[in-house]
Chain A
Amino acid sequence: MSFRRRMMPIALFGATLLALGPCGAWGGNTTADMSSHEQHKSRPPVTSTVPYVVPDVTLVRDDGRTVSLAEEMNDGRPVILNFIFTSCGSICPLMSGIFAQIQRKLGAEADHIHLMSISIDPEHDTPERLTEYARNFGAGPAWQHYTGTLDASLAAQRAFDVYRGDRMSHPPVTLMRAAPGLPWRRIDGFLTPDELIHEYRQLLAAN
């Protein structure tokens, strides 16, 4: 069992108890914690519950259709959301790989969840590029990627508190919501696909 797994339940508990904001919990980038993975100081994931308001923005879906973010999110299905860009080397492929695993492990159940990935580099990530990216990760019909104007992407990033000034500083965040109108569960850091599925089931059960 890895160090990270052992730490996880404590971290989840700790986060709830201390109600650390996601930024605070993940922040504090001092010289000492420049977390070279060799130093093994990557922080354990932290979850929180936040009543984000879905912003009124228009995005462009990977099939080229112009859509309202709110309508895409409020079609009744539970939503699992992340933010990625296709030129990103390390974090995004990992996050997309996790989405792919969730989709695979849930099988037919995945068709009833809306997996959403919003590009934080919309000027480069055209619908065609996103389609290719999605294909590389085996995205099924219930997993859509979104681009749009830079302003629209920024509005979405700010609404979910994932904007950190530039693309390279974006934090690894997964968000899930059981149904429209309910608060969001926010996970800062990486859970394994199984842990995320567990988190998702708990969220559904609690609502």
Chain B
Amino acid sequence: MRLSAQGLLRGFTLLLTFGFPELTFAGDAALSEAIYRHGVLPSGAPLVADREGGVRIEGVTGACVNCHRRSGLGMKEGRQTIPPIAGSYLFHPRAGTADDLDLPFVEGMRADRDPYTDATLARAIRDGIGADGKPFSYLMPRYQLGDTEMASLIAYLKQLSPGAVPGVTESVLHFATIITPDADPLKRQGMLDVLEKFFIDKNHYVRAESPRLRSSRRLMFKVNRHWELHVWQLTGAPETWEKQLQAKLAAEPVLAVISGVGGRTWAPVHRFCEAEALPCLFPNVDLPIVSENDFDSLYLSKGVLLEAQLIAHELTTQRDESKVHRVLQVFRAADVGEEAAGALAAALPDERFAVVNRYVPAGANTRELAAAIRKAGGADTLVLWLRPADLAALDPVPPDVASVFMSGRMGGLERSPLPAAWRTVTHMAYPVDLPERRRVRLDYPLGWFRIRQIPVVAQEVQADTYLVCGIVSDTINHMVDTFVRDYLVERVEEMLEHRVITGYYPRLALAPGQRFASKGGYVVHFAGRTGALLIADGDWLVP
């Protein structure tokens, strides 16, 4: 393929302008990827296509990735099965059945068809005529592509073909979990206990002596591979974590990252997953990275950022509009409360709310913290982004404010050690389902912990870790032997909403462009004589 230097330059400028994350490909590959994923031609012009009946589509709406997915392995939507278009599925020789092909099984693959050639594939993309000479259905647009652009796209499809996947061997599937140096030691231990027991359970059913199975006539089976867990413990400053992770991945290739636990920042880990195109399922992150255009990092919720939105919703809808409300937020330096406070301040309209953020140094003792809060008198609303130890050490009586909000996620949900007098005035952001509604869904992991004698030291972290183990396990079972990293993410997106055991959450769902599986929460207050009961202020809120 030949492209003018100017064309290349323009393409790159455009890529940079839109901030596409994948600039690791050199020249041509980046340009063909832009056609496939973003509907942008090397000239910078939008990809143009027509559907029957004169429906024209342009740009990202017409990008191949929308239907055929990033893996090129297609999908099922409604009654439509979108076939795989990764090269090996187009160019394989004619065979009797899919079983006769040496290709990983995906729905929509076809064996009994003459192989495409570059010429018939170009005809398919431009004119909607299949290798067999028959027209495609209305779902496949007819693309307007020049010869150079076509060659570029076809080259891209060819390299999409599944090949050897790092972390997958004949007998072992390798996974990692990531722990930052500032992770809470209890949460770390609780998470590792669950992961290790889950892997033991998983391997318990694998008989080493039985032969390796592969997909056959669409029968589902347990793929006979051991699961092996690598614990990637990071050290030192966050700036060095990406390098450490790259070295660990090179030394111990893995198919995916299951869970992890951190402290102040998760951004380097998130960036690592995106840069390596490594599926990463993170149940335990208080402060995830919100970038819905990213692909590989999946979270159960937006964590404290969701809580900030829940509190902002309450304040903007419940407070009378005629006067300016004074909001004081308290958090510790070097904890995620700072970002949460920033998100809440940004979400409150300036003309109605005067927000003051007061942070306490990371090493400050609880007396200094209490003193900072005592100065809240005169504010209408106090917002606490504090951990249980700080909450337990608050003055017995709250300052004279109209109401107090607190982070449930940081403060320990209903087990928060908030002093009794505070419970009468405090509302808690509660980004999980209510205790009585989630009981059955949580009995399952809690029972599993009991039987396996796993001490419950950090219940939310452990239940969420168990949940994500189950999600990965189910997804891998459904992938049969098609171990492709992008396909793993795509299958999680498709399957997640079918899960019944959803732990703390009323429901979970993902989709292309959705990276946070649970999207809402409650605001609750304490009730009962001892303040031990929780009552929701209103319905499940999706801010």
Contacts and interface: CB of A to CB of B under 8 A. Distances in A.
B196 interface: no
Contact of B54 (A38, A40, A91, A193): A193
Contacts of A86: 513
Contacts of B107: 34
Nearest to A166: B497
Contacts of A16: none
Contacts of A93: 57, 61, 66
Contact of A170 (B78, B498, B520): B78
A121 B509 contact: yes
B239 interface: no
A38 B83 contact: yes
Nearest to B141: A94
A190 to B, nearest CB: 5
Interface in A156-189: 164, 166-172
B53 A37 contact: no
A136 B62 CA distance: 13
A138 to B, nearest CB: 11
B85 to A, nearest CB: 10
Given A4-B52, A89-B512, A37 B79 contact: no
Contacts of A172: 78
Contacts of B55: 94, 97-98, 100-101, 192-193
A35 interface: yes
A88 interface: yes
Contacts of A40: 130, 134-137
Interface in A14-65: 26, 29, 31, 34-40, 42-43
A193 B53 contact: yes
A87 interface: yes
A107 to B, nearest CB: 15
Contacts of A91: 77-78, 80, 139
A37 B75 CA distance: 12
A90 B80 contact: yes
A124 interface: yes
B contact patch SS: loop
A35 B136 CA distance: 11
B511 A37 contact: no
Nearest to A43: B79
Contacts of A71: none
B137 A167 contact: no
A111 interface: no
Contact of B539 (A31, A149, A167): A149
Contact of B53 (A31, A101, A121, A169): A101
Nearest to B82: A90
B80 A42 contact: yes
Interface in B134-168: 134-140
Given A36-B83, A88-B77, A97 B137 contact: no
B77 A168 contact: yes
A9 B364 CA distance: 78
A136 B519 contact: no
Contacts of B509: 121, 123-124, 167
Interface in B286-314: none
A194 B75 CA distance: 29
Contact of B130 (A26, A38, A168): A38
Nearest to A98: B55
B51 A168 contact: no
Contacts of A164: 78
Contact of B135 (A3, A190, A191): A3
A187 B83 CA distance: 25
B140 A121 contact: no
A192 B76 contact: no
Most buried by A among B54, B79, B83, B494: B79
B514 interface: yes
A2 interface: yes
A195 interface: yes
Interface in B193-227: 218
A89 B136 contact: no
A124 to B, nearest CB: 6
B308 to A, nearest CB: 16
B133 to A, nearest CB: 11
Given A89-B512, A124-B519, A190 B134 contact: no
B110 interface: yes
B542 interface: yes
Contacts of A97: 51, 55-57, 61
A101 B66 contact: no
A88 to B, nearest CB: 7
B67 interface: yes
Given A36-B81, A94-B55, 4 more contacts: A35-B80, A38-B134, A94-B51, A101-B53
Please give me the 10 A-B residue pairs with the lowest Cβ-Cβ distance, nearest first.
A192-B53, A87-B511, A42-B137, A37-B137, A89-B66, A90-B67, A123-B519, A36-B83, A97-B55, A34-B81
21 contacts: A4-B52, A4-B137, A26-B79, A29-B79, A36-B81, A37-B139, A38-B83, A43-B79, A87-B512, A88-B77, A89-B65, A97-B55, A97-B61, A121-B511, A123-B520, A123-B542, A149-B540, A150-B507, A166-B498, A168-B77, A192-B53
Interface of B: 51-57, 61, 65-67, 69, 75-83, 107-108, 110, 113, 130-132, 134-140, 218, 494, 497-498, 507, 509, 511-514, 519-520, 539-540, 542
